[in-house]
Structure 1
Amino acid sequence: MSYDFEFKQLLRAYRNGVISQSTFEAELTWLEAGAPTNGNGNGGGGFKAFGRTYKSERAAVVSFLDKVRAGEASGGEAFSAWAEVCTTDCIRTGIRMVAEREAYHSRVFAQRLAELGGEARAMVTEAGRKATAYLGDPSIPDNEKLLDFTKRVGKPEDAIKPICEFAALLKEDLSTKEALRLFAEDELSTAKWIWDACAALNAPKQHEARASDSM
Protein backbone atom coordinates (compact mmCIF):
# COMPACT_ATOMS: atom_id res chain seq x y z
CA MET A 1 0.00 0.00 0.00
CA SER A 2 1.49 3.38 -0.99
CA TYR A 3 2.37 6.16 1.42
CA ASP A 4 -0.05 8.57 -0.30
CA PHE A 5 -2.98 6.17 -0.02
CA GLU A 6 -2.28 5.38 3.63
CA PHE A 7 -1.83 9.07 4.45
CA LYS A 8 -5.16 9.95 2.80
CA GLN A 9 -6.90 7.25 4.84
CA LEU A 10 -5.41 8.60 8.05
CA LEU A 11 -6.28 12.20 7.17
CA ARG A 12 -9.86 11.28 6.25
CA ALA A 13 -10.32 9.38 9.50
CA TYR A 14 -8.94 12.33 11.49
CA ARG A 15 -11.12 14.89 9.71
CA ASN A 16 -14.20 12.73 10.25
CA GLY A 17 -13.45 12.59 13.96
CA VAL A 18 -12.90 8.83 13.92
CA ILE A 19 -9.40 9.09 15.43
CA SER A 20 -8.02 11.71 17.79
CA GLN A 21 -5.23 14.14 16.97
CA SER A 22 -2.79 12.21 19.15
CA THR A 23 -3.66 8.94 17.39
CA PHE A 24 -3.33 10.63 14.00
CA GLU A 25 0.08 12.03 14.88
CA ALA A 26 1.26 8.67 16.29
CA GLU A 27 0.18 6.73 13.21
CA LEU A 28 1.65 9.38 10.91
CA THR A 29 4.99 9.11 12.71
CA TRP A 30 5.04 5.37 12.16
CA LEU A 31 3.99 5.80 8.54
CA GLU A 32 6.73 8.34 7.83
CA ALA A 33 9.25 6.05 9.47
CA GLY A 34 8.24 3.30 7.10
CA ALA A 35 7.04 1.09 9.96
CA PRO A 36 3.59 -0.37 10.59
CA THR A 37 1.16 2.18 12.02
CA ASN A 38 0.38 1.53 15.65
CA GLY A 39 -3.23 1.99 16.62
CA ASN A 40 -3.77 -1.20 18.56
CA GLY A 41 -1.64 -1.13 21.63
CA ASN A 42 0.66 -3.87 20.28
CA GLY A 43 3.81 -1.76 20.21
CA GLY A 44 5.37 -1.89 16.76
CA GLY A 45 4.30 -5.47 16.09
CA GLY A 46 1.17 -4.67 14.15
CA PHE A 47 -2.29 -6.09 14.70
CA LYS A 48 -2.80 -9.84 14.29
CA ALA A 49 -6.13 -11.20 13.05
CA PHE A 50 -7.36 -13.92 10.69
CA GLY A 51 -3.89 -15.45 10.54
CA ARG A 52 -2.14 -12.33 9.25
CA THR A 53 -0.61 -9.14 10.61
CA TYR A 54 -2.08 -5.73 9.75
CA LYS A 55 -0.39 -2.37 10.19
CA SER A 56 -2.87 -1.37 12.87
CA GLU A 57 -6.21 -2.25 14.41
CA ARG A 58 -7.84 0.28 12.11
CA ALA A 59 -6.26 -1.30 9.03
CA ALA A 60 -7.63 -4.68 10.09
CA VAL A 61 -11.08 -3.22 10.67
CA VAL A 62 -11.08 -1.43 7.30
CA SER A 63 -10.10 -4.63 5.50
CA PHE A 64 -12.72 -6.66 7.35
CA LEU A 65 -15.52 -4.14 6.80
CA ASP A 66 -14.78 -3.89 3.09
CA LYS A 67 -14.87 -7.65 2.57
CA VAL A 68 -17.97 -8.18 4.71
CA ARG A 69 -19.73 -5.23 3.04
CA ALA A 70 -19.29 -6.89 -0.34
CA GLY A 71 -20.13 -10.34 0.99
CA GLU A 72 -23.34 -9.25 2.69
CA ALA A 73 -24.45 -7.34 -0.42
CA SER A 74 -23.90 -10.50 -2.42
CA GLY A 75 -25.80 -12.51 0.19
CA GLY A 76 -28.72 -10.10 0.00
CA GLU A 77 -28.90 -10.54 -3.76
CA ALA A 78 -28.70 -14.32 -3.47
CA PHE A 79 -31.49 -14.61 -0.93
CA SER A 80 -33.62 -12.14 -2.85
CA ALA A 81 -33.20 -14.32 -5.94
CA TRP A 82 -34.25 -17.34 -3.88
CA ALA A 83 -37.32 -15.56 -2.51
CA GLU A 84 -38.46 -14.82 -6.06
CA VAL A 85 -38.56 -18.51 -6.99
CA CYS A 86 -39.33 -20.03 -3.58
CA THR A 87 -42.31 -22.41 -3.80
CA THR A 88 -42.45 -23.35 -0.11
CA ASP A 89 -44.97 -21.06 1.55
CA CYS A 90 -43.74 -21.56 5.11
CA ILE A 91 -40.21 -20.26 4.40
CA ARG A 92 -40.76 -17.67 1.64
CA THR A 93 -41.25 -14.69 3.97
CA GLY A 94 -38.39 -15.87 6.14
CA ILE A 95 -36.10 -15.95 3.10
CA ARG A 96 -37.14 -12.38 2.29
CA MET A 97 -36.31 -11.32 5.84
CA VAL A 98 -32.87 -12.91 5.57
CA ALA A 99 -32.30 -11.05 2.27
CA GLU A 100 -33.17 -7.73 3.93
CA ARG A 101 -30.93 -8.53 6.89
CA GLU A 102 -27.96 -9.25 4.61
CA ALA A 103 -28.58 -6.06 2.63
CA TYR A 104 -28.79 -3.82 5.67
CA HIS A 105 -25.57 -5.30 7.06
CA SER A 106 -23.86 -4.27 3.83
CA ARG A 107 -25.23 -0.72 4.05
CA VAL A 108 -24.19 -0.26 7.68
CA PHE A 109 -20.72 -1.64 7.10
CA ALA A 110 -20.29 0.55 4.02
CA GLN A 111 -21.16 3.59 6.13
CA ARG A 112 -18.74 2.58 8.87
CA LEU A 113 -16.03 1.94 6.28
CA ALA A 114 -16.49 5.48 4.94
CA GLU A 115 -16.37 6.92 8.46
CA LEU A 116 -13.00 5.24 8.99
CA GLY A 117 -11.65 6.76 5.79
CA GLY A 118 -11.59 3.44 3.97
CA GLU A 119 -12.53 2.79 0.37
CA ALA A 120 -14.95 0.20 -0.98
CA ARG A 121 -12.64 -2.02 -3.01
CA ALA A 122 -13.89 -5.58 -2.55
CA MET A 123 -16.07 -6.89 -5.36
CA VAL A 124 -18.56 -9.71 -5.68
CA THR A 125 -16.62 -12.97 -5.95
CA GLU A 126 -17.17 -15.80 -8.40
CA ALA A 127 -18.43 -17.88 -5.48
CA GLY A 128 -20.97 -15.15 -4.74
CA ARG A 129 -22.20 -15.10 -8.32
CA LYS A 130 -22.54 -18.88 -8.33
CA ALA A 131 -24.50 -18.77 -5.06
CA THR A 132 -26.96 -16.25 -6.53
CA ALA A 133 -27.38 -18.37 -9.66
CA TYR A 134 -27.89 -21.51 -7.58
CA LEU A 135 -30.42 -20.03 -5.16
CA GLY A 136 -32.24 -18.29 -7.98
CA ASP A 137 -32.62 -21.50 -9.99
CA PRO A 138 -36.33 -22.43 -9.95
CA SER A 139 -35.55 -26.03 -10.94
CA ILE A 140 -33.77 -26.74 -7.64
CA PRO A 141 -36.16 -27.64 -4.77
CA ASP A 142 -36.11 -25.44 -1.66
CA ASN A 143 -35.24 -28.35 0.62
CA GLU A 144 -32.10 -29.03 -1.43
CA LYS A 145 -31.07 -25.38 -1.19
CA LEU A 146 -31.48 -25.56 2.57
CA LEU A 147 -29.33 -28.70 2.72
CA ASP A 148 -26.66 -27.03 0.61
CA PHE A 149 -26.59 -24.00 2.90
CA THR A 150 -26.19 -26.06 6.08
CA LYS A 151 -23.36 -28.09 4.52
CA ARG A 152 -21.47 -25.00 3.32
CA VAL A 153 -21.93 -22.85 6.43
CA GLY A 154 -21.68 -25.55 9.07
CA LYS A 155 -23.01 -25.34 12.60
CA PRO A 156 -24.41 -21.88 13.47
CA GLU A 157 -22.18 -21.39 16.52
CA ASP A 158 -19.06 -22.31 14.54
CA ALA A 159 -20.03 -20.03 11.65
CA ILE A 160 -20.02 -16.89 13.79
CA LYS A 161 -16.91 -17.75 15.79
CA PRO A 162 -14.50 -15.74 13.55
CA ILE A 163 -16.71 -12.65 13.93
CA CYS A 164 -16.79 -12.97 17.71
CA GLU A 165 -13.06 -13.59 17.93
CA PHE A 166 -12.28 -10.54 15.81
CA ALA A 167 -14.62 -8.33 17.83
CA ALA A 168 -12.91 -9.47 21.03
CA LEU A 169 -9.56 -8.27 19.68
CA LEU A 170 -10.72 -4.69 19.12
CA LYS A 171 -9.56 -2.32 21.85
CA GLU A 172 -9.89 1.14 20.28
CA ASP A 173 -12.72 0.94 17.75
CA LEU A 174 -15.56 0.31 20.17
CA SER A 175 -18.16 1.42 17.63
CA THR A 176 -17.23 -1.37 15.23
CA LYS A 177 -16.77 -3.79 18.12
CA GLU A 178 -20.39 -3.35 19.25
CA ALA A 179 -21.67 -3.47 15.66
CA LEU A 180 -19.91 -6.81 15.20
CA ARG A 181 -21.59 -8.18 18.31
CA LEU A 182 -24.98 -7.40 16.78
CA PHE A 183 -23.82 -8.71 13.41
CA ALA A 184 -22.85 -12.02 14.99
CA GLU A 185 -26.25 -12.30 16.67
CA ASP A 186 -28.01 -11.65 13.36
CA GLU A 187 -25.90 -14.25 11.57
CA LEU A 188 -26.51 -16.76 14.35
CA SER A 189 -30.25 -16.17 14.14
CA THR A 190 -30.24 -16.61 10.36
CA ALA A 191 -28.18 -19.80 10.49
CA LYS A 192 -30.30 -21.33 13.26
CA TRP A 193 -33.51 -20.58 11.37
CA ILE A 194 -32.18 -22.14 8.18
CA TRP A 195 -31.00 -25.21 10.06
CA ASP A 196 -34.45 -25.58 11.66
CA ALA A 197 -36.18 -25.11 8.30
CA CYS A 198 -33.83 -27.63 6.71
CA ALA A 199 -34.59 -30.23 9.38
CA ALA A 200 -38.34 -29.69 9.03
CA LEU A 201 -38.48 -29.83 5.23
CA ASN A 202 -36.13 -32.76 4.88
CA ALA A 203 -37.59 -34.85 7.71
CA PRO A 204 -40.11 -36.69 5.48
CA LYS A 205 -37.37 -37.77 3.05
CA GLN A 206 -35.10 -38.85 5.89
CA HIS A 207 -37.96 -40.87 7.39
CA GLU A 208 -38.63 -42.51 4.01
CA ALA A 209 -34.94 -43.37 3.65
CA ARG A 210 -34.84 -45.02 7.05
CA ALA A 211 -38.01 -46.97 6.29
CA SER A 212 -36.56 -48.13 2.98
CA ASP A 213 -33.34 -49.28 4.67
CA SER A 214 -35.30 -51.36 7.18
CA MET A 215 -37.12 -53.38 4.47
Structure 2
Amino acid sequence: MSRDFEFKQLLRAYRCGIISQSTFEAEMAWLEAGTPTANGNGSGGFKAFGRTYKSERAAVVSFLDKVRAGEANGGEAFAAWAEVCKTDCIRTGIRMVAEREAYHSRIFAQRLAELGGEARAMVTEDGRKFTAYLGDASIPDNEKLLSFTSRVGKPEDAIKPICEFAELLKEDLSTREALRLFAEDELSTAKWIWDSCAALNAPRQQASASASM
Protein backbone atom coordinates (compact mmCIF):
# COMPACT_ATOMS: atom_id res chain seq x y z
CA MET A 1 0.00 0.00 0.00
CA SER A 2 1.38 3.42 -0.97
CA ARG A 3 2.12 5.94 1.76
CA ASP A 4 -0.21 8.44 0.09
CA PHE A 5 -3.12 6.00 0.17
CA GLU A 6 -2.43 5.10 3.78
CA PHE A 7 -2.36 8.79 4.70
CA LYS A 8 -5.78 9.25 3.07
CA GLN A 9 -7.14 6.30 5.03
CA LEU A 10 -5.81 7.77 8.26
CA LEU A 11 -7.28 11.18 7.52
CA ARG A 12 -10.63 9.72 6.58
CA ALA A 13 -10.72 7.58 9.72
CA TYR A 14 -9.94 10.63 11.85
CA ARG A 15 -12.55 12.82 10.19
CA CYS A 16 -15.19 10.11 10.54
CA GLY A 17 -14.41 9.80 14.24
CA ILE A 18 -13.12 6.25 13.91
CA ILE A 19 -9.80 7.08 15.55
CA SER A 20 -8.97 9.75 18.12
CA GLN A 21 -6.73 12.75 17.53
CA SER A 22 -3.97 11.25 19.64
CA THR A 23 -4.11 8.00 17.65
CA PHE A 24 -4.12 9.92 14.38
CA GLU A 25 -1.06 11.91 15.43
CA ALA A 26 0.76 8.79 16.63
CA GLU A 27 0.06 6.89 13.43
CA MET A 28 1.08 9.90 11.33
CA ALA A 29 4.38 9.96 13.20
CA TRP A 30 4.90 6.29 12.40
CA LEU A 31 3.97 6.88 8.78
CA GLU A 32 6.33 9.85 8.40
CA ALA A 33 9.12 7.79 9.91
CA GLY A 34 8.57 5.19 7.21
CA THR A 35 7.13 2.62 9.61
CA PRO A 36 3.77 0.89 9.03
CA THR A 37 1.06 2.15 11.38
CA ALA A 38 0.75 0.16 14.56
CA ASN A 39 -2.63 0.69 16.25
CA GLY A 40 -2.32 -2.88 17.35
CA ASN A 41 -3.21 -5.10 20.25
CA GLY A 42 0.23 -6.59 20.64
CA SER A 43 3.86 -6.27 19.70
CA GLY A 44 4.31 -5.59 16.01
CA GLY A 45 0.70 -5.26 14.95
CA PHE A 46 -2.91 -6.24 15.48
CA LYS A 47 -3.53 -9.92 16.11
CA ALA A 48 -6.79 -11.54 15.01
CA PHE A 49 -7.94 -14.81 13.43
CA GLY A 50 -4.54 -16.39 13.99
CA ARG A 51 -2.60 -13.82 11.99
CA THR A 52 -1.05 -10.39 12.52
CA TYR A 53 -2.27 -7.29 10.69
CA LYS A 54 -0.34 -4.05 10.63
CA SER A 55 -3.20 -2.20 12.35
CA GLU A 56 -6.69 -2.62 13.75
CA ARG A 57 -8.08 -0.88 10.71
CA ALA A 58 -6.30 -3.25 8.35
CA ALA A 59 -7.88 -6.19 10.18
CA VAL A 60 -11.31 -4.58 10.03
CA VAL A 61 -11.02 -3.83 6.31
CA SER A 62 -9.96 -7.40 5.57
CA PHE A 63 -12.78 -8.82 7.68
CA LEU A 64 -15.47 -6.57 6.21
CA ASP A 65 -14.42 -7.37 2.68
CA LYS A 66 -14.53 -11.13 3.19
CA VAL A 67 -17.79 -11.10 5.14
CA ARG A 68 -19.38 -8.74 2.60
CA ALA A 69 -18.73 -11.29 -0.14
CA GLY A 70 -19.75 -14.23 2.01
CA GLU A 71 -23.03 -12.70 3.13
CA ALA A 72 -23.90 -11.70 -0.44
CA ASN A 73 -23.40 -15.31 -1.45
CA GLY A 74 -25.49 -16.43 1.51
CA GLY A 75 -28.32 -14.14 0.43
CA GLU A 76 -28.26 -15.59 -3.08
CA ALA A 77 -28.05 -19.16 -1.78
CA PHE A 78 -31.04 -18.87 0.55
CA ALA A 79 -33.05 -16.97 -2.06
CA ALA A 80 -32.40 -19.84 -4.48
CA TRP A 81 -33.53 -22.31 -1.82
CA ALA A 82 -36.72 -20.34 -1.15
CA GLU A 83 -37.61 -20.57 -4.85
CA VAL A 84 -37.56 -24.37 -4.80
CA CYS A 85 -38.56 -25.02 -1.17
CA LYS A 86 -41.37 -27.58 -0.93
CA THR A 87 -41.86 -27.37 2.85
CA ASP A 88 -44.48 -24.72 3.63
CA CYS A 89 -43.55 -24.22 7.27
CA ILE A 90 -39.98 -23.09 6.53
CA ARG A 91 -40.31 -21.32 3.16
CA THR A 92 -41.02 -17.85 4.57
CA GLY A 93 -38.34 -18.30 7.20
CA ILE A 94 -35.80 -19.10 4.49
CA ARG A 95 -36.83 -15.95 2.64
CA MET A 96 -36.23 -13.96 5.82
CA VAL A 97 -32.78 -15.51 6.20
CA ALA A 98 -31.99 -14.58 2.57
CA GLU A 99 -32.96 -10.97 3.23
CA ARG A 100 -30.93 -10.91 6.42
CA GLU A 101 -27.81 -12.20 4.68
CA ALA A 102 -28.24 -9.72 1.83
CA TYR A 103 -28.62 -6.69 4.10
CA HIS A 104 -25.54 -7.72 6.07
CA SER A 105 -23.58 -7.63 2.82
CA ARG A 106 -24.91 -4.17 1.94
CA ILE A 107 -24.10 -2.74 5.37
CA PHE A 108 -20.61 -4.19 5.41
CA ALA A 109 -19.97 -2.92 1.89
CA GLN A 110 -21.00 0.55 3.02
CA ARG A 111 -18.78 0.38 6.09
CA LEU A 112 -15.88 -0.86 3.98
CA ALA A 113 -16.26 2.15 1.68
CA GLU A 114 -16.40 4.51 4.67
CA LEU A 115 -13.04 3.16 5.79
CA GLY A 116 -11.52 3.69 2.35
CA GLY A 117 -11.27 -0.04 1.70
CA GLU A 118 -11.80 -1.76 -1.61
CA ALA A 119 -14.21 -4.58 -2.39
CA ARG A 120 -11.80 -7.26 -3.54
CA ALA A 121 -13.05 -10.54 -2.09
CA MET A 122 -14.96 -12.76 -4.52
CA VAL A 123 -17.34 -15.63 -4.03
CA THR A 124 -15.34 -18.82 -3.55
CA GLU A 125 -15.84 -22.05 -5.45
CA ASP A 126 -17.23 -23.55 -2.25
CA GLY A 127 -19.70 -20.67 -2.06
CA ARG A 128 -20.87 -21.27 -5.63
CA LYS A 129 -21.34 -24.97 -4.91
CA PHE A 130 -23.31 -24.09 -1.77
CA THR A 131 -25.68 -21.89 -3.79
CA ALA A 132 -26.13 -24.59 -6.42
CA TYR A 133 -26.81 -27.18 -3.72
CA LEU A 134 -29.49 -25.12 -1.95
CA GLY A 135 -31.07 -24.21 -5.26
CA ASP A 136 -31.33 -27.83 -6.39
CA ALA A 137 -35.04 -28.72 -6.41
CA SER A 138 -34.26 -32.45 -6.40
CA ILE A 139 -32.70 -32.35 -2.92
CA PRO A 140 -35.23 -32.61 -0.04
CA ASP A 141 -35.45 -29.66 2.33
CA ASN A 142 -34.73 -31.79 5.38
CA GLU A 143 -31.44 -32.91 3.82
CA LYS A 144 -30.48 -29.30 3.11
CA LEU A 145 -31.12 -28.48 6.75
CA LEU A 146 -28.92 -31.37 7.84
CA SER A 147 -26.18 -30.24 5.49
CA PHE A 148 -26.33 -26.67 6.78
CA THR A 149 -26.15 -27.64 10.45
CA SER A 150 -23.19 -29.89 9.68
CA ARG A 151 -21.50 -27.09 7.73
CA VAL A 152 -22.00 -24.34 10.32
CA GLY A 153 -21.82 -26.30 13.56
CA LYS A 154 -23.48 -25.36 16.84
CA PRO A 155 -24.95 -21.81 16.82
CA GLU A 156 -22.94 -20.53 19.77
CA ASP A 157 -19.70 -21.88 18.31
CA ALA A 158 -20.45 -20.39 14.91
CA ILE A 159 -20.65 -16.82 16.20
CA LYS A 160 -17.74 -17.08 18.63
CA PRO A 161 -15.10 -15.75 16.18
CA ILE A 162 -17.29 -12.71 15.41
CA CYS A 163 -17.76 -11.90 19.09
CA GLU A 164 -14.07 -12.36 19.85
CA PHE A 165 -13.07 -10.07 16.99
CA ALA A 166 -15.56 -7.41 18.08
CA GLU A 167 -14.10 -7.46 21.59
CA LEU A 168 -10.62 -6.78 20.19
CA LEU A 169 -11.69 -3.54 18.51
CA LYS A 170 -10.74 -0.52 20.60
CA GLU A 171 -10.70 2.29 18.03
CA ASP A 172 -13.39 1.38 15.49
CA LEU A 173 -16.40 1.44 17.79
CA SER A 174 -18.83 1.75 14.90
CA THR A 175 -17.76 -1.57 13.41
CA ARG A 176 -17.59 -3.18 16.84
CA GLU A 177 -21.24 -2.41 17.58
CA ALA A 178 -22.28 -3.51 14.09
CA LEU A 179 -20.53 -6.83 14.68
CA ARG A 180 -22.41 -7.32 17.92
CA LEU A 181 -25.69 -7.02 16.03
CA PHE A 182 -24.35 -9.19 13.22
CA ALA A 183 -23.51 -11.93 15.71
CA GLU A 184 -27.03 -11.78 17.17
CA ASP A 185 -28.53 -12.09 13.68
CA GLU A 186 -26.31 -15.05 12.84
CA LEU A 187 -27.14 -16.71 16.15
CA SER A 188 -30.86 -16.27 15.52
CA THR A 189 -30.56 -17.72 12.02
CA ALA A 190 -28.50 -20.70 13.14
CA LYS A 191 -30.82 -21.51 16.05
CA TRP A 192 -33.88 -21.39 13.80
CA ILE A 193 -32.25 -23.68 11.25
CA TRP A 194 -31.17 -26.12 13.95
CA ASP A 195 -34.70 -26.18 15.38
CA SER A 196 -36.21 -26.66 11.92
CA CYS A 197 -33.72 -29.41 11.17
CA ALA A 198 -34.62 -31.26 14.35
CA ALA A 199 -38.35 -30.95 13.67
CA LEU A 200 -38.26 -32.04 10.02
CA ASN A 201 -35.85 -34.92 10.57
CA ALA A 202 -37.51 -36.29 13.69
CA PRO A 203 -40.04 -38.48 11.78
CA ARG A 204 -37.27 -40.12 9.73
CA GLN A 205 -35.15 -40.73 12.80
CA GLN A 206 -38.11 -42.25 14.63
CA ALA A 207 -38.85 -44.49 11.64
CA SER A 208 -35.23 -45.65 11.54
CA ALA A 209 -35.33 -46.39 15.27
CA SER A 210 -38.53 -48.39 14.93
CA ALA A 211 -37.13 -50.39 11.99
CA SER A 212 -34.08 -51.37 14.00
CA MET A 213 -36.13 -52.82 16.86
TM-score (norm 1): 0.92
Name structure 1 gaps, 5 residues minimum: none
- Show the counterpart of 1:189: 188
Post-superposition Cα deviations, 1:88-117, rounded to whole Å, max 9, x if no partner, equal: 000000000000000111111111111111
- Matches of 2:46 and 2:148 in 1, distance apart? 32
SS in structure 1 at match of 2:185? helix
SS in structure 2 at match of 1:160? helix
Post-superposition Cα deviations, 1:3-27, rounded to whole Å, max 9, x if no partner, equal: 3443343344345453344433322
Post-superposition Cα deviations, 1:150-191, rounded to whole Å, max 9, x if no partner, equal: 001000000000001111111111111111111101000000
SS in structure 1 at match of 2:52? strand
Q: Is the 8 A contact 1:40 1:172 kept in 2?
A: no
Matched AA of 2:33: A
- Matches of 1:198 and 1:110 in 2, distance apart? 31
Question: Identity of counterpart residues, as a percentage?
Answer: 85
CA-based RMSD of the aligned residues comes to 1.6
Q: Is the 8 A contact 1:47 1:57 kept in 2?
A: yes
- Matches of 1:17 and 1:114 in 2, distance apart? 15
Q: Is the 8 A contact 1:36 1:45 kept in 2?
A: no
Q: Which deviates more from structure 2 when the two are superposed, residues 134-143 or residues 169-178?
A: 169-178
Matched AA of 1:199: A
- Matches of 2:58 and 2:22 in 1, distance apart? 17
Name structure 2 gaps, 5 residues minimum: none
- Matches of 2:33 and 2:146 in 1, distance apart? 52
CA shift, 1:41, in A, is 5.6
TM-score (norm 2): 0.93
Matched AA of 2:190: A
